[in-house]
């Protein structure tokens, strides 16, 4: 077994990648939902992706600073996951705007809130 595997670099890489996915998911919904609702979300979508990537980068940098032994794996996992998630959201936005289908969201009309709670019986 290689030294890199024995020393825990694989685990550090996966943990670093996992935290990026978790943080971005907390800031945004899934790329699939983004694509379906691109007409509604396109205006603010990438703002939230950028905020999620920024938050994730902060955690990854702190982890790399705290764990010098696994620094390369932590930075590698975080960078890889951030790049992959960014590309997925950018593609979802582009694909959804290019080929809009039925949305899963309702938008409000002036003076009337969105959602079933805002409908009049």
Q: Domain ranges in the chain?
A: 21-101
What residues contact 40, with CB distance under 8 A and at least 6 apart?
Answer: 103, 105, 107
pTM: 0.69
Question: For residue 22, what are the CA distances in angstroms to 7, 29, 30, 56?
Answer: 25, 11, 11, 9
Highest average pLDDT, of 1-5, 12-16, 88-92, comes from 88-92
Q: 77 versus 14: which is more confidently predicted?
A: 77
Phi-psi region of 8 (alpha: psi -120 to 50; beta: other; left: phi over 0): left
**Sign of the alpha-carbon torsion through 26, 53, 35, 100:** positive
Query: pLDDT at position 116, please?
Result: 46
Instruction: Give residue-wise pLDDT tens across range 28-81.
Output: 777 788 888 888 878 788 888 899 899 889 989 998 888 888 899 999 999 999
């Amino acid at each position: 077994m290689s030294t890199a595997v024995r020393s825990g670099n694989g685990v550090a890489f996966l943990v670093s990648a996992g935290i990026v996915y978790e943080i971005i998911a907390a800031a945004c919904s899934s790329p699939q939902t983004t694509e379906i609702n691109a007409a509604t979300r396109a205006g603010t979508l990438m703002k939230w992706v950028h905020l999620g990537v920024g938050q994730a980068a902060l955690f990854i940098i702190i982890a790399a600073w705290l764990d010098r032994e696994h620094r390369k794996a932590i930075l590698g996992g975080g960078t890889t996951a951030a790049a992959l998630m960014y590309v997925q959201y950018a593609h979802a936005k582009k694909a959804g705007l290019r080929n809009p289908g039925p949305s899963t969201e309702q938008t409000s009309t002036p003076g009337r809130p969105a959602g079933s709670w805002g409908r009049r019986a």
